Structure 1
Amino acid sequence: MEAVLRRTKVAILGSGATGTDLMIKVLEESSSLELVAMAGLGAASPGLVEADRLGVPTTNRGVGGLRTMPHYGEVDIVFDVTALAAARCGQADSLRSDGKRVINLSPAAGGRCVVPAVNLDRLLGEPEVNIGTRAGQTTIPIVAAITRVTEVAYAEVGAYVASKAVGPWFVPDVDEFLRRTSSGVESVGGAKIGRTIIILSPDSAPARTRDTVLALITEPDPSVHAAVRASVEAMAAEVAEYVPGYRLRHDVRIVPFAADDLLLGLIGDSAVTHQISVNVEVEAPVDSGKGPLGSLDAATSAAVRVGDRIAALRTAPVG
């Protein structure tokens, strides 16, 4: 008898732009996840309207409504994409108490930061993880690729954010965006000091998002520099396996460090010899019609990869 793969049932909590993009990815790109519910607030929410059109069961009563839906008992994983902090209060605790694994896509929510190409294997047993920020998903792998070769005294992320993609959720969460990204650069990327700046960009092609990494190292050996370049290129290829359109914009640049009073004040007495510059971008397919929502691809693609890996542990062929 032919084996049948049992798919893992999932729900999405949050019907805004991120939740809608995630829904499309789960439906179209995942063979291991089965979306059985989408919850939001407000029946006219575009995400709920689209879910209804696609035949996904919906509720407009948020987490309370989700917990009363017929398929809720069968749900293993909940993607929490709730934007407003007030709406998030206590809901992860409720979901975990119901035995659900929680994958957060809001930087202000709980859970350890997970970057699939870097630390997913170590976090597969966690009841709650956090995708963190879009910029973190594109840049933390680059920092990690450098630190697996040599020590990084300081890493700075320049997060380009398309102005058209900035919604009302962004202003109250901007401090959390900066904190989460910088913290991830340190705790996941491995830099001794991490810093993040936001650059609002009126990009004429907003489906393409670009971010930069500046890393300071204390290693003058050219052979180590060559190993860093190879490591970054290999990491970029690994990220591109689950984030289509992810790529390096140019070759990895390593040049002697030019003393900068501001940077020296941040890194203290560290004997920095060289600085590394890496530019990355994620470009949504030209026929995707996403416009500024193309900036969501790194985060939502990472979330699907995490869900797929969790599902692989929970599923087994039957029949």
Structure 2
Amino acid sequence: MVGVKDVARHAGVSVGTVSNVLNGRESVAPEFVERVQKAVAELGFVRDDVARTLRAGTSNVIGLIVSEAHNPFFIEVARGAEAEAVETGGIVLLGNSHGDAAREDRYLEAFYRQRARGVVVHMMDPEALSRPTGQLLHRRGMPIVTMDVSLGQQTFSSISVDNRAGAGLAASHLMEQGRRRLLFAGGPMALEALQQRLAGIQDCLHGGAVLEVFETFDTSIEDGIAAAQDVLRRRGGADAVDAVIAGNDLVAIGILNVLVSAGVAVPEEVAVVGYDDIDLARTAVVPVTTVRQPAGVMGAMAVRLLENERLTAAPPEHVLLDPELVVRRSTVRVR
């Protein structure tokens, strides 16, 4: 097997120079970098990351655990995290928990066994990191950054968008459009983010406005289809709604598709608002008004928080970003 010493001998440089090149240090002269890279290619050298990890104590892996990898929002989170990780020589490995507590624990354990630099987590269960596995990793010094879960704002660094304010923007916009019978369609309501969004809507009700809640099982288009059936059932009755605020854009798109197919005029009869601002919201059959969360920025900042904690032993830091309302045709009547 070709080793570092072989590469150094072939390139005519020291072992230290080879190590510096392989680790991406900028202090090496371009001439030596070229010679080392040429030697690596000619000899077919493959770096032994296992041995390097054992020596260093950590690998270049950053774990990212999400609750719903099917959601385009988390694809953008992963892109942002990956872009930031690359800047420090890291790689991002994704784990999809499907909101299952046992899977979350298995991923946490797996990333710990890989001696990951740290883990960024978005979990359906707000108590996930309070369980033994999460607490064990924390005691052993692995940095953990949470997304959309405050966990009392004590143990772990966190990054979130102000969900209460974001939903308030959506509700205030609908109030300005004269909507008074609102439905919030989202779930599961055990999620802290959705609890905050519901509270934000309630904060902004006035002028005799009424709010109903349809709790969805998950956050998919299929859940939006189920919510839309509830909207259709209410149609023409005393409990009919004239606006729906969805828990996310996928649910909003499911609602929109069913309403349009059933001949319901959107937004003339029923306005629809989503949350996240994924690309599908912009390109839907009726472009969806939504609350934008900067997914890529969240992913990048989460990795930045993690690296800061790892390198400086800084105390937990909590970042709260501002949401933005993006108004499209699903709420504004075309005159």
TM-score range, shorter chain: 0.3 to 0.5
TM-score for the superposition, normalised by structure 2: 0.38
**Structure with higher helix content:** 2
Structure number with greater Rg is 2
**Structure with higher strand content:** 1
Higher RCO (CA-CA < 8 Å; seq separation 6+): 1
